[in-house]
Amino acid sequence: MIRAGIVGGTGYTGVELLRILALHPEVEVAVVTSRADAGVRVDAVYPSLRGHIDAVFTAPEVDTLAACDVVFFATPNGTAMLMAEQLLARGVKVIDLSADFRLQDAKEWSQWYGMEHACPDLIAEAVYGLPEINRERIKSARLIACPGCYPTSVQLGFLPLLEKGLIDCDHLIADVKSGVSGAGRKAELAALMSECGESFKAYSVSGHRHLPEIRQGLALATGKPVGLTFVPHLTPMIRGIHATLYARLESNTEDLQALYEQKYKDEIFVDVLPNGAHADTRSVRGSNRCQIAIHRPQGGQTVVILSVIDNLVKGASGQAVQNMNLMFGLAEDVGLSAVALYP
């Protein structure tokens, strides 16, 4: 059994890790930390976990966590970078669901996240945990930077086009819509149901923190810098991300549907929908799957890719467990076979 620790167990990615790991046949949840709720039973905060998780929140201590085989950081940005080095030194693998190790450039990270990076030396070692790109590197990694939710949906959607060099990379557009759980479990006015229910809006149009992460990933795929306009929106539902991606084709010869099907034919968690289909977020709710549909309206030069995930699963905790499975030599989908909850 893999002994797992979760730092920051009271947020949505934390409780989602617990939901998934509770039924994972190879994992024992050994430590769940929460500074605020230390001493409280986990299932007192989350009644959905009664009978599934028999643990008490503890304060986050390296000594306690060092007894784990793997530690997940489901914390706000800026926490994992303070503890990762010590845990690695004691032989613990680290999977960070926050943004601390996602950007290769520590200076750029500081600009977007508003603080100095506490351990820039580890950045180079950290593997960006998108298995569809980095599977082999993940298997031998000690430190995983789990991708953000927006970046996961956008990268999986654009990748096949970029790798083949089929589109104009200077003018990519990602119009992405997220459910409100993406804002986290924080007492903030803007996340009240009375504020965000029955309403739709864009936010951070001038620049969202996931922009440099997406740009970095797309540039790696195409081998050169890309020009990207990324507009995130808040849609009045709890779970789900729908990315609508626009690019201009520079070639007419390719069968795009076949290209995507070929690219992802061996991927368990990327599902290319049939020609003409539309993806909807409900069909991946609670599952670790990305569903993708390819369109070329009126046969024109603009390709439209629809890419949907559950932001808390493939966009966070499910993907983290997928990484863990790879790191520990397990089948990639152990504990991740749940069917989406529809309706």
Q: Give the catalytic positions in this structure.
A: 149
- Residue 150 touches its own copies, criterion: CB under 8 A: no
- Residue 252 touches its own copies, criterion: CB under 8 A: no
Segment 211-240, which members bind its own copies (CB under 8 A)? 227, 229-231, 233, 235-240
Count the Cβ atoms, other than its own, within 10 Å of residue 252.
9
- Residue 338 touches its own copies, criterion: CB under 8 A: yes
Count the Cβ atoms, other than its own, within 10 Å of residue 219.
15
For its own copies, the closer of residues 38 and 238 by Cβ is: 238
Segment 85-114, which members bind its own copies (CB under 8 A)? none
**Minimum distance, C-beta of residue 238 to its own copies, in the bound complex (Å):** 5
Using the rule CB under 8 A, which residue among 26, 85, 261, 271 binds its own copies? 271
Interface size with its own copies, residues (CB under 8 A): 89
For its own copies, the closer of residues 27 and 308 by Cβ is: 308
- For residue 77, give the 3-state DSSP assignment: coil
Token pair recorded at residue 194: 């009375």
Please check whether residue 282 is in contact with residue 289, taking contact to mean a CB–CB distance below 8 angstroms.
Answer: no
- Residue 210 touches its own copies, criterion: CB under 8 A: no
- Residue 42 touches its own copies, criterion: CB under 8 A: no
Element (H, E) at 293: strand 290-295
Count the Cβ atoms, other than its own, within 10 Å of residue 201.
11
Using the rule CB under 8 A, which residue among 143, 284, 324, 330 binds its own copies? 284
The CB-based long-range contact list for 289-295 (8 Å cut-off, 24+ gap) reads 289/313, 289/314, 289/340, 290/152, 290/153, 290/156, 290/314, 292/156, 292/157, 292/260, 292/264, 294/256, 294/257, 294/260
Give which of 288, 308, 272 is closest to 154, Cα–Cα: 308
The stretch near its own copies (CB under 8 A) out of 11-19, 57-65, 140-148, 255-263 is 11-19
- Residue 55 touches its own copies, criterion: CB under 8 A: no
For its own copies, the closer of residues 274 and 329 by Cβ is: 274
- Residue 56 touches its own copies, criterion: CB under 8 A: no
Using the rule CB under 8 A, which residue among 115, 201, 223, 331 binds its own copies? 201
- For residue 120, give the 3-state DSSP assignment: helix
For its own copies, the closer of residues 83 and 232 by Cβ is: 232
Segment 297-336, which members bind its own copies (CB under 8 A)? 297-298, 300, 302, 304, 306, 308, 312
Strands 172-178 and 241-248: antiparallel
Distance of CA 256 to the CA centre of its chain: 25
